Chains A and B, each alone.
Chain A
Amino acid sequence: MEVIAAGTGEYRAPDPDGFREYVRTHKDRRLVSKLMSEQEAVSRFVADGDYMAFDQNIAVRGPASLMREIIRQRRKDLWIAAKFTWTDASLLVAGGCVTKIDVGWMAAGRTINQAVREGRLKLIEWSNGALAYRHLAGALGVHFLPMRYLAGTDTFTQSGAKMIEEPFTGAPVCLVPALYPDVAIIHVHQCDEFGNARVLGAGVAPMEIAMSSRKVIISTEEIIDNETIRRQPQRTTIPYYFVDAVVHAPFGCYPGSTPGLYGADIEHWLQWGAAEMQGKTDEYLDKWVHGVSSHQEMLDKLVGEAKLEQMRQAETVREGYYE
């Protein structure tokens, strides 16, 4: 197939066979408990230099507690897929963890702007959909997938996509390389100890991200019995064999919301926003991340039961999630 145009953006060469070998040698097929602390999960499964993906964002059902643990353990040089994100990318950049971002959408404030200006952060353009689709390609175990957008734009030029004449009719088609992240962090509503995980409600691409990532850490609002999973198998989003670690993290999306369970802590967002505008993200991180040893300690010491109760009350919809 002849390439008729190519973006200049950096991408990791898709390696489905490498992925398969990894699965063969590293992934546990047994039904064994993968319950562990966030400290253990991040220390075992997130390495400096990893490509890291996450589902949703720090506003809704994102893995915020795991992100804070990654910052706490001072992971460096991560390459992240920022699709459909909010302040997640800035938080990780402020934490010194990230040097490359595949951009779909992110809240790009002072942190991101400054890091780009100083050359500490490299951006590569995609779109939300293109990144979700690259995960889908990874989830299908192939090298690439064709699609009908990105073409013709500067976004294409700054991406790693390529245009070809497709071999069946000769029509111009955009190809995107499959994305096989090293590690995925995914926050879910319910999960059993083996890693059978339920995302309740709309998600961005939790299944595709879990399937395409070598290492998968699930944080979950609730640990449920395997028996409960087996009674309603149609509710399982991610089956156990994709999962390496299960972390019990109630309010794991704090300060964001988990639909059906709790609303967001809006005041906390304002604190982060103010910290970013004033160039005081270090103070924010000292308080909310480095100043505590765990997510639970942050909830106990800095958030408090009264606030958590307010957040529970702010969620008025259970229908569709739990009913």
Chain B
Amino acid sequence: MSDQLSFTDIEANICTIANLVEEDKLYFAQMAGAPLMAILLAKHSRTPNVGYVVEEGAVAPSPTFPLPRMMLGASRSHYRAVAWYGMNLVDAHAALGFMDYGLLACLQVDRFGNFNSTHIGGTYEQPERRFGGPGGANEIASQCWRTLLMTKLEKRKFVNRLDFMSSPGYLDGTPGARERAGLPANTGPYKVITQEAMFDFDEETRRMRLIATMPWMTVEQVLAKVEFQPLIADKVERMEPPTEEQLETIRTLLDPGGLAVSRGEWITIDSATGQRAA
């Protein structure tokens, strides 16, 4: 019997993003949960010197591990930063163009990378389910040069029409839409990362484009899990599944309480082939 590897969809996203992190860039990370875990995993493995800010004002911290269960602005997540400021200052750092990548999660995303974190179902006034709101996502998605969005590959998340556009992608997708709206020039969503597929955005049409899948997924299977038809890259690459080492770091050091990853859906693969285990 060959070895199997089990992980949640959220762990898969954390690992994929950690593999994308570039050490010579600055990141503005959503201050809790999986996006922060992704930059921390990168910091702990491939890119120890990568800098990031969080919205409550910690600049380039070097958190101590294991992290506490309550990550929100706690001392260990701000440990050995280069500066402790407040929200207005780090948002200004993004406004000035210093933040290369924003790192965010969302409830729903549309074909132009606009996304929702406000409510699902119903109307704004009478929502079926109200969620927390944009938090810092609107300023991050507006002002960082590129935004990395993570969510789950599911029909109800990749929607034709958002229930609410909390934060901007390429708006209506027309050329210059963000600039016309008043957002900083040449910014926008860069990649959408899910547990089974990765997308980017076509430079001309600004439409989401499938660029990679996990080994156990076919393009057809991905398309069956999204409501809209994304573009498909000429060559769809193969994504690397999480490694044992990455998963161990997440589980023992980054999120020992399992708060960020516990609500995920479990995926089991055969380590040798990368295929879903029977």
Identify the A interface with B (CB < 8 A). 56-57, 59-61, 82-84, 86, 103-108, 112-113, 116-117, 123, 125, 127-130, 132-133, 136, 147-155, 158, 163, 171-174, 201-208, 256-257, 259-260, 263-264, 266, 269, 314-317, 319-321
Interface check B68, CB cutoff 8 A: yes
Contact yes or no, B76 A266, CB < 8 A: no
Contact yes or no, A202 B68, CB < 8 A: no
Bound-state Cα–Cα, A173 to B65, Å: 42
Number of interface residues of B (CB under 8 A): 56
Name the residue on B nearest A314 (C-beta). B68
Q: Which chain B residues numbered 49 to 74 have a C-beta less than 8 Å away from chain A? A: 55-58, 64, 68-70, 72-74
Bound-state Cα–Cα, A127 to B79, Å: 26
Interface check B95, CB cutoff 8 A: yes
Bound-state Cα–Cα, A206 to B73, Å: 14
Q: Of the candidates B78, B88, B135, B167, which one forms a contact with A104 in the assembled complex, judged by CB atoms under 8 Å apart?
A: B135
Interface 0/1 of B129-164, CB less than 8 Å to A: 111111111110011000000000000000000101
Contact yes or no, B138 A130, CB < 8 A: yes
Contact yes or no, B74 A127, CB < 8 A: no
Q: Which chain B residues numbered 162 to 218 have a C-beta less than 8 Å away from chain A? A: 162, 164-168, 171, 177-178, 180-184
- Give 6 A-B pairs besides A59-B73, A104-B133, A148-B183 with Cβ atoms closer than 8 angstroms: A60-B72, A130-B138, A148-B184, A153-B168, A155-B118, A269-B70
Bound-state Cα–Cα, A153 to B59, Å: 28
Question: Smallest distance from the beta carbon of B132 to chain A beta carbons, Å?
Answer: 5
Contact yes or no, A148 B182, CB < 8 A: yes
Contact yes or no, A257 B88, CB < 8 A: no
Contact yes or no, B138 A127, CB < 8 A: yes
Contact yes or no, B182 A171, CB < 8 A: yes
Q: Of the candidates A127, A148, A172, which one forms a contact with B134 in the assembled complex, judged by CB atoms under 8 Å apart?
A: A127
B91 neighbours in A (Cβ, 8 Å): 129, 132-133
Interface 0/1 of B79-106, CB less than 8 Å to A: 1110011111001000100000000000
Instruction: Given the known inter-chain contacts A108-B132, A151-B183, please indicate yes or no for A207 contacting B86, CB distance below 8 A.
Output: yes
Question: Smallest distance from the beta carbon of B73 to chain A beta carbons, Å?
Answer: 4
Bound-state Cα–Cα, A86 to B259, Å: 15
B264 neighbours in A (Cβ, 8 Å): none
Bound-state Cα–Cα, A254 to B165, Å: 35
Question: Smallest distance from the beta carbon of B235 to chain A beta carbons, Å?
Answer: 33
Q: Of the candidates B64, B95, B133, B182, which one forms a contact with A105 in the assembled complex, judged by CB atoms under 8 Å apart?
A: B133
Instruction: Given the known inter-chain contacts A129-B139, A153-B166, A155-B138, please indicate yes or no for A201 contacting B127, CB distance below 8 A.
Output: no
B4 neighbours in A (Cβ, 8 Å): none
Name the residue on B nearest A128 (C-beta). B136
Instruction: Given the known inter-chain contacts A117-B126, A127-B138, A201-B78, please indicate yes or no for A149 contacting B143, CB distance below 8 A.
Output: yes
A-B contact pairs, 29 of them (CB 8 A): A57-B72, A60-B70, A60-B74, A84-B87, A108-B130, A108-B131, A108-B133, A112-B130, A123-B130, A125-B133, A127-B135, A128-B135, A129-B55, A129-B139, A130-B138, A152-B177, A152-B178, A153-B138, A153-B168, A155-B165, A201-B84, A204-B57, A257-B70, A257-B74, A259-B73, A263-B70, A264-B70, A269-B70, A316-B64
| Among all A-B residue pairs, the 10 with the closest Cβ atoms | A105-B135, A152-B181, A149-B142, A172-B182, A129-B139, A202-B57, A259-B75, A317-B75, A202-B84, A151-B182
Contact yes or no, B57 A152, CB < 8 A: no
A163 neighbours in B (Cβ, 8 Å): 182
Centre residue among A107, A202, A260, A315 by max chain B CB count within 10 A: A202
Contact yes or no, A155 B134, CB < 8 A: yes
Interface check B124, CB cutoff 8 A: yes
Question: Smallest distance from the beta carbon of A158 to chain B beta carbons, Å?
Answer: 6
Contact yes or no, B142 A148, CB < 8 A: yes
Question: Smallest distance from the beta carbon of B129 to chain A beta carbons, Å?
Answer: 7
Bound-state Cα–Cα, A244 to B106, Å: 41
Contact yes or no, B81 A202, CB < 8 A: yes
Contact yes or no, B72 A173, CB < 8 A: no
Bound-state Cα–Cα, A314 to B167, Å: 37
Interface 0/1 of B98-129, CB less than 8 Å to A: 00000000000000001000100000101101
Contact yes or no, A151 B184, CB < 8 A: no
Question: Smallest distance from the beta carbon of A83 to chain B beta carbons, Å?
Answer: 8
A117 neighbours in B (Cβ, 8 Å): 126
Name the residue on A nearest B53 (C-beta). A202
Question: Smallest distance from the beta carbon of A13 to chain B beta carbons, Å?
Answer: 22
Bound-state Cα–Cα, A103 to B164, Å: 14
Question: Smallest distance from the beta carbon of B80 to chain A beta carbons, Å?
Answer: 8
Question: Smallest distance from the beta carbon of A269 to chain B beta carbons, Å?
Answer: 8
Question: Smallest distance from the beta carbon of B114 to chain A beta carbons, Å?
Answer: 8
A155 neighbours in B (Cβ, 8 Å): 118, 134, 138, 164-167
Name the residue on A nearest B139 (C-beta). A129
Bound-state Cα–Cα, A316 to B78, Å: 12
Q: Of the candidates B124, B126, B137, B165, which one forms a contact with A127 in the assembled complex, judged by CB atoms under 8 Å apart?
A: B137
A174 neighbours in B (Cβ, 8 Å): 182
B73 neighbours in A (Cβ, 8 Å): 56, 59-61, 202, 259
A105 neighbours in B (Cβ, 8 Å): 132-136
Bound-state Cα–Cα, A269 to B69, Å: 11
